[in-house]
Amino acid sequence: MAEGEAEWELCKENIQPLRRGRAISALHQALSQQDGAGYAAIQQQKQAFESELRLYSGDDPLDVWDRYIKWTQQTYPQGGKESNLSVLLERAVKRFVDETQYHNDSRYVNLWIKFAESSTEPLDMYNYMHGQGIGVQQAALYIAWSEELETHGDSKKADSVYQEGFKCGAEPADKLHQYHKAFQARVSRQVMKDMLDGGEQEPDSPEPAQPQRSSLVDLKPRGKKTAIAPIVRTGAAVSHRSRGLNLQLPTAPHNGHNSRFLVFDEKQASAAAAAEPSEPRPERWMAPPSSRAKENEMMPEKWTDVKMPQKSRAGHSVVAPPSKPNFQPYVEECDQPPVVTPHKINPTVNTVLSVRKPSKEETPLERLQEPQQAEGDKKEQSMYCKELLFSGVTEFCFEELRAERYYKRAAQELEEKEKKLKEVKEDLKRQIEEKRNVLQDRCPQAGAGQQGRLEAGESSQPVDCLPGCAVSRRQGSDPGFKIYEECEASSSARVNQPVENEDPRLADKGSALVLPFTIFDESTTGEKTQEVTSKAVGCRPSVCRPLTAVLKPLAEAPATRLESDGLEGIESLTDDAIVSSYKNKTLCPSPDDTCDFARAAHLASTPFGGSGSGLGASASSADGLPDLSTFSVDPVVSAPTPAVQQADYEVVLRGERLSPIEEASLEDGHYSVSSAFSGSSLGGMSGMKAMHSSSGMEACPPQFPSIPEETAQNVEKDNPCSMSSRRRVLSKVDLDSFPNFYRNVRSLPEVMEDDALFIGEESIMILSQIVSGENGVVHFGQTKSRESVVVKVDFETVPWDFYVAAQLRSRLGPKSQKYFGYRSSCFFYMDGCITLSWGRCLSPLQDFLERSPFLQVAVSLTKQLLEMMEQMHSCRLVHGNIRPDTVLLRCRESGGDADSVLQMLDFSSCVDLDQQPEVMSAGDLPSAQAFIRQGLLSTSSSPYQVDLIGIAETVYMLVKKQTMNVVREDSEWKPTDDFTGTLHGHVWQEFFQKILNPGNQSTVSILSDLQHLVERIFLCGTENNLMITEYF
């Protein structure tokens, strides 16, 4: 901008001022870019205007000209030849001279005035205009006219012009008045000045109201001066305006002469008003004054003596015809040579080079009015669209014209296409609306399944995919249902869609489902808590109330938007999930059927849960999940199996906190039956049972939500422990590059106890079974070379443990051997994998606990546990499930590290934060849900803190031999038992206080702090080592 300003400052004088001002931006642009980039753009714009001029088909062609001229003024602030402004003006003016509708159009009048101003004889123009009736209703004409007269010194005339204006009722009248007043003020000031100067008395006192003829007379050569000094009030005395390129001086005497002449005439005529003199004018000024060359024009002294130039100079214009004297305009007009734009040779009217001399005298006006006839007179007919070629200011060629037509047509076609597409879209939308209405009618009667059939044919329009609210049932008469009902039909429709719908549809369902839940959670927390206790299905509808309220707007949203809201879980939805889920689902709830509810709750919290499952993990409100993870007292029940069947959109609803106690039992039982990956969770099963049998512990380590076998493959991406997310991680990693990873194309070999397993190059004797589950079996084994191995047989083709162990080894280096085994190999089969881990392990810690270890031993174990976890955390692995039954005690090999008796082999809940960056907080971990529900963790805590709590529980077990209950006091968590009776109680207190309230500290540092803490206890008794050896 600064540069632009500088330019402006430098060439202010070159800028033609505009009455209405110049846009500073255009000014800068014009000044700074004389050539180059701006040039091309200007040319393009010009071309556009030119073509618009030719192809315009509307009612107001003046508009095009007007805009073109305005643009030209702005773009060419210095005026000049290139702007063609004068040509433009002239053309525009001439073009509409016959169209009376424009005669009093202010734009047209302004064009005329501008044209007049830039000509050499504006007065002629004004007279002509007045005669033609152009602008007689416009104040602008009178103002400009009288200004011109004033400049010429003819104030009397000027005033008469004003009077004329008043008489004609020119608009806007107040403007006219204003200018008139100003004019009179000027005149009187001048008169006063003259009076003072000359000391002469004017016969008439200057009275603005009177025609100022007398004063004018006096203003003429004053007494002192006899010379006819031109008292041309130009410049300062008169409001200045741009005279273009006119020369003032030569005209001054001329004008002075003129004014004198005129005044003289009027005096003699003794006409009272100016009206009378004006009358002859219309007769005299029938033709518009010719345009003049603006510069380089010879101003002939005697018009009769001027010769017509024979030939134009190369590349330059014809010399304009001689200007006519003012006093014989009539004669002049006839003799006017054709109107020629001086700059360009206008072939249409160029008679200079014509082989035919103008045969008769034509006024330009006549020529304009009857161009065809003129041509006809000349006996020639142009067989082409001459007018179009030359109707603009610059010429066009045939191809340009055709190109413009082509562009226009192309634009039209494009518009039509767009319109058509819009119509199609509208049409489809309408269809969907109709179908939706139809569904609404049908919904009350039919059951889900029927509805599904009915809607089979519905066009799958992802655009309006609504989340499949599981609840198609209409329950209760809660006012909230109103909203529910609105989209209930469509939701049920969605719910019951037959499988053959395309995946994107499902995906949208899911996505739509998932997204609203988050909103739902935020907005309806309050309501939820109220509903918590009620187990009626009535809850569900009300649950879905806010849901649908949210969903409604979403329903209108295009699918893309929904999907793009980042609901990753959706894509992994497969038809299987939906099929299996709703096939068995009963859509009509019995309000009192808590089993249904329980099942739903369970499923709601499973990662799969149809579309909503993803939500389960991602919603991180853990509303559904907590129930799963809550501990239940009841043993495993068969209920889970049907619960599994239920998958379903009920799940979706679960959004709210379900009663922890009852449901949890079902969940847990379910868990143990089918802990997906943790088929090999050592002692998982037994551990679960053990845990169950012990007193209900609220802070039970979270179980990773069990995934029923059949739905195992439908886990949402959002559950980082799910099969699919692990598969993803593994697919990113090249498993084959790990040492000891063997791929086979066979199916899983049979592994039976007390049998030999031939695997790889090994033959292993399978010993006792540690744990067996639906997803895997774990055995102890012994190789031929008498090495103890732990054999894990997974029925899933996701060798997660192997992967984690390998990662630990690679990330920790040799340190890993202390706690994580020194060698493992994995054999990958078509339908499963077998992982061998070397290391003689005895039993899970759980078993050891039952033997009531000494406190010192507990301390030592604690320390080891802490160190182990510190190692894991330091390489960005979250274990996720530290419990007495997942930690192994191992046999100390001779020569091995004496201090490490713990070993971790079960990584079924492990999450690799390197490869799974989507796990960003504890809320993402399924195993953390219980803690979150309790409040020990918040959804945004670091995922590592899950392990801290796991450690806390384990240690508590070790120390106190009972499960830990925590309570929140003074904004801190602490175990209910305050260790007052325990040895080193205060240390333990501090320990638990630290571990349960990690805050934002990094867990690695916390763990090392705790280690130091525990050291203090440890060192107290040196006999610990002996103690430990005793046991092992």
Partner 1 sequence: MTGSNEFKLNQGPEDSISAVKFSPSTAQFLLVSSWDSTVRLYDVGGNSMRIKYQHLAPVLDCAFYDPTHSWSGGLDMQLKTHDLNTDQDTVVGTHDAPIRCVEYCPEVNVMVTGSWDRSVRLWDPRTPCNAGTFTQPEKVYTLSVAGDRLIVGTAGRRVLVWDLRNMGYVQQRRESSLKYQTRCIRAFPNKQGYVLSSIEGRVAVEYLDPSLEVQKKKYAFKCHRLKENGIEQVYPVNAISFHSVHNTFATGGSDGFVNIWDPFNKKRLCQFHRYPTSIASLAFSNDGSTLAIASSYMQEQGDINHPEDAIFIRQVTDAETKPKST
Angstrom distance (rounded) from CA 803 to CA 824: 10
Nearer to partner 1, 47 or 782 (CB): 47
Nearer to partner 1, 33 or 574 (CB): 33
Distance of closest approach, residue 362 Cβ to partner 1, in angstroms:
18
Query: Which three-class secondary structure string do you get for 192-214?
Result: HHHHHHHCCCCCCCCCCCCCCHH
Nearer to partner 1, 348 or 797 (CB): 348
Return the ∠ at Cα 142 (arms to 244 and 64), rounded to 5°. 60
Interstrand relation of 841-844 and 788-794 (parallel, antiparallel or unpaired): unpaired
Number of C-beta neighbours around residue 784 at 10 A: 11
Length of the chain in terms of residues written: 1032
Q: How many CA atoms lie within 13 A of 261 on its CB side?
A: 11
507 dihedral zone (left: phi>0; alpha: psi -120 to 50; beta): alpha
Nearer to partner 1, 82 or 568 (CB): 82
Sign of CA dihedral 638, 644, 649, 654: positive
Distance of closest approach, residue 386 Cβ to partner 1, in angstroms:
8
Distance of closest approach, residue 88 Cβ to partner 1, in angstroms:
16
Helices of type H across 716-854: 723-732, 800-812, 816-820, 845-849
Instruction: Tell me the angle at which helices 139-152 and 173-198 cross, rounded to the nearest 10 degrees.
Output: 10
Q: Which residues of 322-332 are buried (b: 16+ CB within 10 A; e: fewer)?
A: bbbbbeebeeb
Angstrom distance (rounded) from CA 201 to CA 195: 7
Query: Which three-class secondary structure string do you get for 957-1026?
Result: HHHHCCCCCEEEECCEEEECCCCCCCCCHHHHHHHHHHHHCCCCCCHHHHHHHHHHHHHHHHHHCCHHHH
Nearer to partner 1, 38 or 244 (CB): 38
Distance of closest approach, residue 315 Cβ to partner 1, in angstroms:
6
Burial class (CB in 10 A: 0-12, 13-18, 19+), 132: buried
Distance of closest approach, residue 63 Cβ to partner 1, in angstroms:
23
Nearer to partner 1, 81 or 284 (CB): 81
Distance of closest approach, residue 26 Cβ to partner 1, in angstroms:
21
Distance of closest approach, residue 89 Cβ to partner 1, in angstroms:
19
Angstrom distance (rounded) from CA 342 to CA 362: 19
**Contact positions toward partner 1, by CB under 8 A?**
40, 43-44, 47, 314-315, 344-345, 347, 350, 353-354, 376, 379-385, 388-389, 394-395, 397-403, 405-407
Angstrom distance (rounded) from CA 819 to CA 148: 105
Distance of closest approach, residue 369 Cβ to partner 1, in angstroms:
20
Distance of closest approach, residue 172 Cβ to partner 1, in angstroms:
42
Nearer to partner 1, 358 or 558 (CB): 358
Distance of closest approach, residue 42 Cβ to partner 1, in angstroms:
11
Nearer to partner 1, 389 or 570 (CB): 389
Distance of closest approach, residue 334 Cβ to partner 1, in angstroms:
25
Distance of closest approach, residue 825 Cβ to partner 1, in angstroms:
56
Distance of closest approach, residue 69 Cβ to partner 1, in angstroms:
21
Helices of type H across 443-538: 448-454, 480-495, 503-533
Nearer to partner 1, 404 or 662 (CB): 404
Angstrom distance (rounded) from CA 62 to CA 80: 23
Distance of closest approach, residue 371 Cβ to partner 1, in angstroms:
15
Among candidates 700, 633, 632, 631, which has minimal Cα distance to 954? Answer: 700
Cα–Cα distance list, 497 to 431, 492, 502, 614, 646 (Å): 17, 8, 10, 20, 16
Provide the token pair at 970: 């003074």
Provide the token pair at 257: 């002469």
Angstrom distance (rounded) from CA 653 to CA 599: 12
Distance of closest approach, residue 70 Cβ to partner 1, in angstroms:
23
Nearer to partner 1, 401 or 661 (CB): 401
Nearer to partner 1, 192 or 353 (CB): 353
Sign of CA dihedral 758, 763, 769, 773: negative
Cα–Cα distance list, 733 to 727, 807, 875 (Å): 10, 11, 17
Among candidates 460, 480, 472, which has minimal Cα distance to 649? Answer: 472
Instruction: Tell me the angle at which helices 594-605 and 539-556 cross, rounded to the nearest 10 degrees.
Output: 40
Angstrom distance (rounded) from CA 112 to CA 115: 5
Instruction: Tell me the sheet residues that pair with 969.
Output: 972
Angstrom distance (rounded) from CA 39 to CA 51: 18
Angstrom distance (rounded) from CA 484 to CA 552: 9
Nearer to partner 1, 133 or 347 (CB): 347
Distance of closest approach, residue 355 Cβ to partner 1, in angstroms:
9
For residue 974, the Cα-to-chain-centroid distance in whole angstroms is 47
Q: Do 565 and 511 touch, CB atoms closer than 8 A?
A: yes
Distance of closest approach, residue 407 Cβ to partner 1, in angstroms:
8
Nearer to partner 1, 44 or 993 (CB): 44
Distance of closest approach, residue 49 Cβ to partner 1, in angstroms:
14
Nearer to partner 1, 403 or 733 (CB): 403
Nearer to partner 1, 2 or 383 (CB): 383
Helices of type H across 840-998: 845-849, 855-874, 929-934, 944-960, 985-996
Nearer to partner 1, 214 or 351 (CB): 351
Nearer to partner 1, 410 or 424 (CB): 410
Nearer to partner 1, 46 or 473 (CB): 46
